[in-house]
Chains A and B, each alone.
Chain A
Amino acid sequence: EVQLVESGGGLVQPGGSLKLSCAASGFIFSSYDMHWVRQPTGKGLEWVSAIGTAGDTYYLGSVKGRFTISRENAKKSWYLQMNSLRAGDTAVYYCARASLVNPFALDIWGQGTMVIVSS
């Protein structure tokens, strides 16, 4: 079964750091671009970051310089290191796989992990 499982969310103080992980199973991980998308409670979806198969990285403007996306093909996992966290970063964070048929579409999503930035 194709599956993505996030972990690493939690409560962190403003200015703090958190590292999210996403573990993949059921597909050839190294062949896919991978994304992070977040959703504040009761609000819409917001794309955060992506990493290509060659390790090329892309970020939402407001997280550039604070967040770092990475991948570890041997462990079929990728990560989002979040530093200098702000209250506005509070959200459910989803990892998602880009489709091979249309790489701009996200065809598999994880269940999400909650990040709360609060003092």
Chain B
Amino acid sequence: QSVLTQPPSVSGAPGQRVAISCTGSSSNIGAGYDVHWYQQLPGTAPKLLIYGNINRPSGVPARFSGSKSGTSASLAITGLQAEDEADYYCQSYDSSLSYVFGTGTKVTVL
């Protein structure tokens, strides 16, 4: 069972900004553990999008950005593009359950 909560879906028109929240607790995000984000395009394996709360791996477009505050984190996509339509997952470490993923958010480009 996921201990990190995300909205099931978000949507936006091309060029708009969307944000995905990831809410945890004092045993994971609030305990200071980093949050990482993954993008999963339909029928493919997840891909690391953001690591260490705010860092983008080489090759990830700058329109993806991450932030963290307290027991929550957020992924923002500015200048939404059609190819951004995918499922997005946050991930952290929990002191009781080890590695944990978020419930996942489907991003739809209108």
By the criterion CB–CB under 8 Å, are A102 and B36 in contact? yes
A35-B99, A45-B89 known; A109+B36 contact, CB < 8 A? no
Residues of chain B within 8 A (CB-CB) of A105 are 34, 36, 48, 51-52, 91
Residues of chain B within 8 A (CB-CB) of A109 are 45-47
A104-B34, A105-B51 known; A45+B46 contact, CB < 8 A? yes
Shortest beta-carbon distance, B21 to chain A, in Å? 15
CB-CB contacts below 8 Å: A43-80 with B: 44-47, 50, 58, 60-61
By the criterion CB–CB under 8 Å, are B36 and A47 in contact? no
Residues of chain B within 8 A (CB-CB) of A101 are 51-52, 55
Residues of chain B within 8 A (CB-CB) of A58 are 98
Interface size class on chain A is: 20 to 34
A44-B2, A102-B36 known; A107+B48 contact, CB < 8 A? yes
Residues of chain B within 8 A (CB-CB) of A108 are 48
A29 interfacial by beta-carbon distance below 8 Å: no
CB-CB contacts below 8 Å: B19-56 with A: 33-34, 36, 38, 44-48, 51-52, 55
Residues of chain A within 8 A (CB-CB) of B81 are none
**Closest residue of A by beta carbon distance from B40:** A45
Residues of B within 8 A of A (CB): 2, 33-34, 36, 38, 44-48, 51-52, 55, 57, 89, 91-93, 97-104
The 7 closest A-B pairs by CB, nearest first: A105-B51, A47-B99, A109-B45, A105-B36, A44-B104, A45-B101, A102-B52
Can you report 28 residue pairs joining A to B where beta carbons are below 8 Å apart?
A44-B89, A44-B103, A45-B89, A45-B91, A46-B2, A47-B98, A47-B99, A47-B100, A60-B98, A94-B45, A94-B46, A99-B51, A101-B55, A102-B34, A102-B51, A102-B52, A104-B33, A104-B91, A105-B36, A105-B91, A106-B38, A106-B91, A107-B48, A107-B51, A107-B57, A108-B48, A111-B44, A112-B45
Residues of A within 8 A of B (CB): 35, 37, 44-47, 50, 58, 60-61, 94, 96, 99, 101-102, 104-112
